[in-house]
Amino acid sequence: MPDFIYVPPSDFKSRAFGPLEAFLKRYRDCFKVITRSGHHREELFKGGTFDSLETYGDLAGVEYARRRIIKFARTRSRLSILRQQRFNKAPEIDLEEMGVIVMPFIEGTSIMAKMVGDHWEFGYSRDRIHKVQSEPYITKTPHDKKLLDISQSIQDLLGFRCEIEYIVSVEGEIFVVQAKDISRVEILEIMESRRTVKLDGIRRIRKRRNYRERPVFVMDNRAFYIDVISRCEDTALASEGAETGIGYVLQTITDYEASLERFALQYERFAVLGLHVRPPSDLYQIANHYFEETPDAQKALSKALNDNMYQIDYFLSEADTLIVKDKIGIHLCSHDAYGIDTVRYPLWFVYWNVDRDDQVVREFTHLGFKTGDIIGIDVGYEDRPRLFRV
């Protein structure tokens, strides 16, 4: 294991940084450290809920990283935490009790290992060494046989099935970063993997079945922006003017964001049908520049629309099934790509070709797909997905 130090939250409150400063002094030549979240209740949440950050190898860098970890838990991970509390019986958590684990920065490749059924699997991602990088992938044969031996010995020592995270340095040294207990996570029988079919219209790192049912959220941000602009026009024509009527417009955005959160908290597993995930550029420009003659109102609207883009991203990251045109892409971290949750619920990216976008959107609209419908995704003989309302 790499050298590390745990800094409890009490040390940040009392500013008792003697041990931390001594640790950082030993690694002064590294310039950077990794600051990992270390809340005492973190094991009760799924891996990847809380962040790890690279930062400068000094006291100010560690304090900054801790503040960012707490901020991210309150913003981009907030919905994930709420859903785990609702669906997975995760506890209430006081983020001010966040401790951190500080390690020297190791340049290398991130690898995650776990035993699935009767074999070990290894997920590779985030190779920071090479300029040209490959997509995350899973293999039963690691690049170094020692990974297999080390993983088995760690699991034997701990006495329970675990998910182990490694960093392999540029020199080929293997560092064990953490091991998480996954013994209570259910995995379907390994025999089911024999029914796996490669799909022409679906992107997924883990390939298992060819049928799935999900409640669906129909996302049409083109229609949403038209609604926002319509309210802008109503406000501009109203007697009270933009300065006082901007709240009427902002309420539209607030209501939309509330509908996203309400849906995500209603269903543990869900799909998003993205008719228009991103608004057309002309509508985006019109909405953001509508109140140019009243700068305060324009500033408030632009900020709300910018924040709304982040809320949409947070919502999309909670869906395990995205149905979008081929142009849309999602950035996957290690846990999203091949964490333990993906063994039973792999991520599906069902897409249609960009040149058929108008046709497919019209078909979905004509058939009347709406938020809350249960949809089925079936892969037919030609390995093409077929979507229908259940």
Contacts of range 145-148, beta carbons closer than 8 Å, 24 or more positions apart: 146/174, 147/111, 147/113, 147/122, 147/174, 148/120
The CA-CA-CA angle for residues 221, 223, 228, to 5°, reads: 90
CB 351 within 8 A of CB 326: yes
Q: What is the pTM of this model?
A: 0.69
Q: How confident is the model at residue 390 (pLDDT cuts 50, 70, 90)?
A: confident
Identity (one letter) of the amino acid at 79?
L
Q: What is the pLDDT of residue 78?
A: 96
Mean pLDDT, residues 373-389: 80
CB 242 within 8 A of CB 297: yes
3-state secondary structure of 127: coil
Q: Which two tokens stand for residue 334?
A: 């290690």
Q: pLDDT tens-digit profile of 250-280?
A: 999 999 999 999 999 999 999 999 999 999 8
DSSP E strands in the chain: the ranges are: 5-7, 32-37, 52-56, 100-104, 108-116, 119-125, 137-139, 162-169, 174-181, 202-203, 211-220, 271-276, 321-325, 348-352, 374-379, 385-389
Identity (one letter) of the amino acid at 32?
K
Q: Which residues pair with 102 in a beta bridge?
A: 5, 35
Mean pLDDT, residues 31-44: 92
Q: How confident is the model at residue 200 (pLDDT cuts 50, 70, 90)?
A: very low
Q: Is residue 5's pLDDT more than 80?
A: yes
Q: pLDDT tens-digit profile of 311-345?
A: 999 999 899 889 888 766 666 666 665 566 666 67
CA distance 5 to 23: 7
Report domain extents, the chain. 1-105, 107-185, 202-389
Q: pLDDT tens-digit profile of 76-124?
A: 999 999 999 999 899 999 999 999 999 999 888 899 999 887 789 999 9
Let me know if domain 107-185 sits in CATH 3.30.470.20. Answer: yes
Q: What is the pLDDT of residue 130?
A: 59
Q: In the predicted model, what is the mean pLDDT of the chain?
A: 85
Q: What is the pLDDT of residue 198?
A: 26
Q: What is the pLDDT of residue 331?
A: 61
The CA-CA-CA angle for residues 178, 81, 135, to 5°, reads: 55
CB 69 within 8 A of CB 98: yes
CA distance 317 to 76: 10
Q: What is the pLDDT of residue 378?
A: 82
Q: Is residue 192's pLDDT more than 50?
A: no
Q: What is the pLDDT of residue 196?
A: 26
